[in-house]
Amino acid sequence: MNPEINEDMTKPILQMNKMSKSFGGVQALKDVSFDVFPGDVLGIIGPNGSGKTTIVNCITGFVKPTSGRVYFKGKDITGKQPHKVADLGVTRTFQIMRPYYSLPAYKNLVIPLFSPRAKRTGGWRGGGRLGNRQTIAIDILEEIGFERDSYIPFKKTSTLPTGYLKRLELARCLALKPEIIICDEVFSGLSMSEIASMVPLIQRLQDEGITIVMIEHRLRELFQVANRVMVLNFGQKLIEGTPTEVMADEKVKEAYFGSEEVEEVMTYA
C-alpha cells in the first residue's frame, strides 16, 4: 500500500465546502459540502442535470466555482488550473469520452506518462523511476482489460468500441499514479457483461489504496463497490450515508427513485 495515502485515515483527503456554481441563470450547484476519506469509494447519484458533472469540474479545475472551497489533504485547491490539480494526483474521467482519436490506443497513455507527475512518480506501479513509456502503456492497458498479445492496443483509437474507450479514460488516470480517481459515469453505455468485468477492476483499485468517487446511474453496480453514497437533486445535497441508509430515506424515494426500483436495489445493498 502507498504510505503517502495512508498517513492519516481519519482526516479527509478531499473536502468540498459550501460549493455553489451558477451558469448564467442556472444554479447548477448550491452549497454542496462533503468529505471523502482515504480509501473511500463515494458514490454520487442524482437525476440528469442535478449537477454531478459540475462537481467533478469544480474539483478538477475545469470550471471555477462561484463560491465555496475545495481542499485536497487540507490544502486549498479551489480554482487551480486543471493540470495542476491532476499533478497533485486528483484525476478524473470524462463523461463524454475524450481519447486522442488520431493516435493508436497505447499512445493515448504515452501522453499522461509524459507529464511531470508521471516522471516524478514513475507512473502506474512505477517505483519513482519511469521506464519505457510504451511498455508501461501496454502494461496499464492489459491491467484494465485490453487483451495482451492482441492487436487492440495498437489499433487506431477511433476504431475502438465504447467499452474500450471508457477503459482508456480510467487508464489515463492510472498512468498518473493517482491518489483519487473521480469517475464520471464510466459504466454508462456499456453492456451488462462489460460492467460486470469493470466492477472487480474498481474494487482492485480500491484495495490498492486509491480513493474513488463514482458518479453513476447504475445503482446496482454502484452499491456493490461504494461504501458511502451522496444524493444530489437540483444542485443540492439531499442526503449522504451508507447505501442502505440512503435507500431507506423517504426524501430520496420521493425525489429520485420509482419505488419498485428501490425495492430491487435494496436486495443488493
Partner 1 sequence: MSTQELRKERIDRGIKVRSDGLYALMSLRELSYLTLPRFILIAGMISLPFLMPGMYWQRVISIVCIYAVLALSFDFLSHYVGLVSLGGAFFIGTGGYVAGILNTYYGVPPVLTVPLAAAIGGIFCTLMLLPCLPLKGVYFAIVTLMYPLFMARIIEAFDIFGGTDGIVGIDSFSSAFVEQYFVVCMVLIFLFGLRRFVTTDRGLIFTAIMDNDQAVKASGINITKYKALAVFIASSMGCMAGACLTHIYMWSGISQFALDFSILPIAATVIGGAGTLVGPILGCLILVPVSELLRDFGTLRIVFYASILVGFILFRSDGIMVFIQRKYEQFERWTKI
Ligand X SMILES: Nc1ncnc2c1ncn2[C@@H]1O[C@H](COP(=O)(O)OP(=O)(O)OP(=O)(O)O)[C@@H](O)[C@H]1O
Footprint of partner 1 (CB under 8 A): 60, 62, 81-83, 86-87, 91-92, 94, 98-103, 107, 110-112, 114-118, 133, 172, 175-176
Question: What's the min distance (Å) between Cβ of 105 and partner 1?
Answer: 13
Q: Does 15 contact ligand X by CB under 6 A?
A: no
Question: What's the min distance (Å) between Cβ of 51 and ligand X?
Answer: 4
Question: What's the min distance (Å) between Cβ of 133 and partner 1?
Answer: 6
Q: Does 28 contact ligand X by CB under 6 A?
A: yes
Identity of the residue, 23 or 154, whose beta carbon is nearer to partner 1 in the bound complex: 154
Identity of the residue, 15 or 50, whose beta carbon is nearer to ligand X in the bound complex: 50
Question: What's the min distance (Å) between Cβ of 109 and ligand X?
Answer: 26
Q: What's at 203, amino acid-wise?
A: Q
- How far from 89 is each of 112, 151, 160, CA to CA, in Å? 12, 31, 27
Interaction residues for ligand X, span 34-53 (CB under 6 A): 46, 48-53
Question: What's the min distance (Å) between Cβ of 249 and partner 1?
Answer: 34
- How far from 107 is each of 8, 137, 167, 230, CA to CA, in Å? 36, 7, 14, 36
In this structure, the number of other CB atoms found within 10 A of the CB of residue 52 comes to 24
Q: Which partner, ligand X, partner 1, Mg ion, none, binds residue 99 by CB below 5 to 8 Å per kind?
A: partner 1
Q: What's at 122, amino acid-wise?
A: G
- How far from 42 is each of 48, 215, 256, CA to CA, in Å? 19, 8, 18
Identity of the residue, 9 or 26, whose beta carbon is nearer to ligand X in the bound complex: 26
Identity of the residue, 139 or 245, whose beta carbon is nearer to partner 1 in the bound complex: 139
Alpha helices in 144-225 (DSSP H): 162-175, 192-207, 219-225
Question: What's the min distance (Å) between Cβ of 26 and ligand X?
Answer: 5
Among 15, 50, 53, 60, binds Mg ion (CB under 5 A): 53
- How far from 175 is each of 2, 98, 185, 186, 200, CA to CA, in Å? 16, 15, 19, 17, 19
Q: What's at 39, amino acid-wise?
A: G
Identity of the residue, 94 or 223, whose beta carbon is nearer to partner 1 in the bound complex: 94
CB under 8 Å to 199, separation ≥6 — which residues?
221, 224, 225
Identity of the residue, 26 or 196, whose beta carbon is nearer to ligand X in the bound complex: 26
For residues 264 and 135, give the distance between their C-alpha atoms in angstroms, rounded to a whole number.
44
Q: Which partner, partner 1, Mg ion, ligand X, none, binds residue 87 by CB below 5 to 8 Å per kind?
A: partner 1
Q: Name the grid cell of 191.
A: 453492456
Residues in contact with Mg ion by the rule CB under 5 A = 52-53, 95
